[in-house]
Amino acid sequence: MTQTTLFAGFRGRLRQPEQTLRLQLSHCPQAIDWPALDTWLRDKLGLALQSPLQGVAFSTEPHPVNAVGALFWRILQVAAELQRAARMPVFEPGQICALQADEARPGGWLADVSVVHIDYVPAQSTRLVYDAATLLVLGVAADPKSFSTTEPLYQQLEAKVLHPLRTVMQMGLSTLPLLTCAQESGIPWRHLGAGLFQLGWGVHRLHMQHSKVGSDSAIGVTVAQNKGIACEWMRRAGLPAPQHRRVANEAEAVATQAVLGWPLVVKPADRDRGEGVTVDITTDAKLRSAYRQAAQLSSQVLVERQVTGVCHRLLVVRGKVLYAVKRMPVAVQGDGQRTVSELIAAANAVQLALPSWVREPLFPSDTQALDCLQEAGWDLASVPPAGVWAQLRRIESTQWGGLDEDYSATLHPDNAAIASQAAALFDLDVAGIDIISPDITRPWHENGAIINEVNSAPMLGQSDSSRRTLPQVLRLLLSGPGRIPVDVCVGASQALQMARQRQNAWREQGLACHVTSHNVTLDASGAVMAMAQEGLFARCTALLGNRAVAALVLVVQTDELLDIGLPIDAVDLLLSSGEPIAAWCQGKSIDSAARTEKMLAHLQRISGKYEADAQLHEVGSLRLES
């Protein structure tokens, strides 16, 4: 497989930036059982097969081109699914542009395909996933029964494909759900490297990494990560916070009990996700053991007075509480017939039937689980009544998972108020506020509830409550779809003059409009703006990331964008001066008239407004559709 582009733009075939690949098929298996192949892809990879885009259909009838096309189409879908499994934002499989027999290999085939391009993903990583998808589809197509045992395959895919991809593009669990929502909402986005993304253009531009946003305070993020200092901040602000002591050894931990009383909680001051936390401590022996466990993870250990209640997670975005969930520990629900052991085995069987990359943590039956069951008067042989939950951990944690119960509709306003105050105290635009309360529907000052933690990078999109609020999260963080007006003027010297006229028109509407060609950029005042980049694609990309830009006019004087692709997926207004464009590579001979016509046709496909001269009129906007 060869890759023809490293940095790519929009070309009109997909809703994302594109790159062109050549895929190679060594052979086409005879008499493929297509239903069996598709069933395997659905059941073992969780892949819901899509129909080919833009009306291009490949029959599975026994004609070589049909069968080869159908195989390549499945390869594209498997490759896209594997990239999503590695948390890469690939939302469409791509298109097959051309098929031909491989003259160098009898029985082989070649396919030129247009697939999604993600900036800063190296060519060898792209090659890795498409090669793996090709081998996988060929193997299953030849003999689906030989792939009936999938666990070794999952392990190979995890080690040889998914792990290398995740290393290249380090994405948190929240990033893909957020970008999926952005894509569905028409919000433009682009990868800036290291799992950092830009959402929106110009004045609306927002930087996001995992669930942190660029407007979060760096100081607030740092302080929130230290539970000891964070609690002091909250107490000084009049917010309810835990009572604790920092201890340096077991003796100090035991001595603290005389001040705080039983029961106690021990936890590292600087760890997340429930790591090293021990609750319900009521004896010196348990206190010493809990200290040792926490000290293995951190030199900063807190002994804390345990309050009555359950942890509730409140998501606060720019001061607004979007949801509240009660976070219960991992548990199995009784049916009045099966033992706890059987319920655990059944729950784990459901998870093990899924691809490894979508599994939840397996339900435990270890010593901690036995202790929890014993406290409820049960053991692994007990049969819980129907509807009753048998808890296998004392607290919810990322390591073991848990159960969320939505309390958004019944959350008391006073509890919502302290969550918003805590997020504002740390200057966090996105925050997960954990409140321990015996009843979150009652005000905190009535029942002794406390703010247990302030989380600067809360997990988003992993629960039903969180997924429902993602559109609202993006609406609060961005202005509308995050877009600015973009006009395009095509031609030679006269096109720049037309662009200045458009800039004046936007200025009269109160918008700071910038203009750029491949070698000249004008700021909002019309003065020349020095830029280190050369080329229209690079200069446009720079301006789209500039928060001083409220509108943009592009001057297309060369055929550069025909080769690289467009840096934008939508044009609000398209103008042509009638002049031919030039070649963007020096010394390159082109048919200027033909290239100009092709450029205008390409731009028209993504423009809702077009004039062949300087007279303007209003037409609705049209965006790229696959």
DSSP letter at 440? T
The pLDDT score that the predictor gives to residue 20 is 93
Domain assignment of residue 623, yes or no? no
Residue in this structure with the two tokens 């600015």, named with its chain if needed: 484
- Across the chain, mean pLDDT equals 91
β-partners of residue 570 are: 623
- Work out the number of other CB atoms within 10 angstroms of the CB of residue 175: 24
Domain assignment of residue 580, yes or no? yes
The pLDDT score that the predictor gives to residue 30 is 85
For residue 620, what pLDDT band results from cuts at 50, 70 and 90? very low
Strands (E), 154-213: 189-193, 196-199, 206-209, 212-213
Kindly report, residue by residue over 556-587, the tens digit of the pLDDT: 999 999 999 999 999 999 999 999 999 998 87
Q: Do residues 39 and 158 share a domain?
A: yes
Q: What is the mean pLDDT of residues 97-102?
A: 93
22 Cβ contact partners less than 8 Å away, ≥ 6 residues apart: 1, 2, 4, 110, 111, 112, 113
Instruction: Please determine, for residue 613, whether its predicted confidence score (pLDDT) is greater than 90.
Output: no
Helix (H, G, I), strand (E, B) or coil at 64: helix
Domain assignment of residue 236, yes or no? no
Q: What is the mean pLDDT of residues 167-171?
A: 90
| Between residues 623 and 485, the one the model is more confident about | 485
Kindly report, residue by residue over 514-565, the tens digit of the pLDDT: 999 999 999 999 999 999 999 999 999 999 999 999 999 999 999 999 999 9
- Report the number of distinct structural domains present in the chain: 5
Q: Do residues 110 and 155 share a domain?
A: yes
The pLDDT score that the predictor gives to residue 170 is 87
Element (H, E) at 391: strand 389-391
Q: Do residues 511 and 436 share a domain?
A: no
430 Cβ contact partners less than 8 Å away, ≥ 6 residues apart: 211, 212, 213, 216, 315, 316, 317, 456, 457, 458, 473, 477
For the entire predicted model, the pTM comes to 0.90
Q: What is the mean pLDDT of residues 297-305?
A: 89
Kindly report, residue by residue over 170-209, the tens digit of the pLDDT: 898 999 999 999 999 999 999 999 999 999 999 999 999 9
The pLDDT score that the predictor gives to residue 59 is 47
Angle at 327 between CA 278 and CA 431, to 5 degrees: 95
**Which range marks the domain in which residue 283 is found?**
243-305
By 3-state DSSP, what share of the chain in percent is helix, strand and coil, each rounded to 5? 35, 20, 40
The pLDDT score that the predictor gives to residue 611 is 57
Residue in this structure with the two tokens 């106690």, named with its chain if needed: 264
Domain assignment of residue 394, yes or no? yes
Q: Do residues 256 and 343 share a domain?
A: no
Instruction: Please determine, for residue 625, whether its predicted confidence score (pLDDT) is greater than 80.
Output: no
Q: Do residues 87 and 146 share a domain?
A: yes
Domain assignment of residue 458, yes or no? yes
The pLDDT score that the predictor gives to residue 617 is 30
66 Cβ contact partners less than 8 Å away, ≥ 6 residues apart: 58, 59, 60
Q: What is the mean pLDDT of residues 37-62?
A: 73
| Alpha carbon distance 5, 116 (integer Å) | 11
For residue 64, what pLDDT band results from cuts at 50, 70 and 90? low
Among the candidates 256, 273, 305, a domain finishes at: 305
Domain assignment of residue 214, yes or no? yes
The pLDDT score that the predictor gives to residue 52 is 65
Among the candidates 477, 508, 538, a domain finishes at: 477
Q: What is the mean pLDDT of residues 225-233?
A: 93
Q: Do residues 315 and 461 share a domain?
A: yes
Token reading at 168: 């290249």
Q: Do residues 198 and 262 share a domain?
A: no
For residue 400, what pLDDT band results from cuts at 50, 70 and 90? confident
CATH value at residue 405: 3.30.470.20
Helix (H, G, I), strand (E, B) or coil at 452: strand
| Alpha carbon distance 454, 301 (integer Å) | 18
The pLDDT score that the predictor gives to residue 614 is 38
HSE, side-chain direction, 13 A CA sphere, residue 622: 15
| Between residues 5 and 113, the one the model is more confident about | 113
β-partners of residue 513 are: 551
Instruction: Please determine, for residue 106, whether its predicted confidence score (pLDDT) is greater than 80.
Output: yes
Q: Do residues 566 and 593 share a domain?
A: yes
Domain assignment of residue 238, yes or no? no
Q: Do residues 6 and 151 share a domain?
A: yes
Kindly report, residue by residue over 114-143, the tens digit of the pLDDT: 999 999 999 999 999 999 999 999 999 999
Q: Do residues 268 and 415 share a domain?
A: no
Q: Do residues 377 and 259 share a domain?
A: no
Helical axes 34-45 vs 123-142, angle rounded to 10°: 130
Q: Do residues 67 and 125 share a domain?
A: yes
Domain assignment of residue 616, yes or no? no
In percent, the amount of the chain with pLDDT more than 70 equals 94
Instruction: Please determine, for residue 626, whether its predicted confidence score (pLDDT) is greater than 50.
Output: no
Name the H helices within 298-394: 340-352, 367-375
For residue 276, what pLDDT band results from cuts at 50, 70 and 90? confident
In percent, the amount of the chain with pLDDT more than 90 equals 81
The pLDDT score that the predictor gives to residue 586 is 80
HSE, side-chain direction, 13 A CA sphere, residue 486: 29
Instruction: Please determine, for residue 102, whether its predicted confidence score (pLDDT) is greater than 70.
Output: yes
Which class for 587: exposed (0-12), middle (13-18), buried (19 or more C-beta within 10 A)? exposed
Instruction: Please determine, for residue 329, whether its predicted confidence score (pLDDT) is greater than 80.
Output: yes
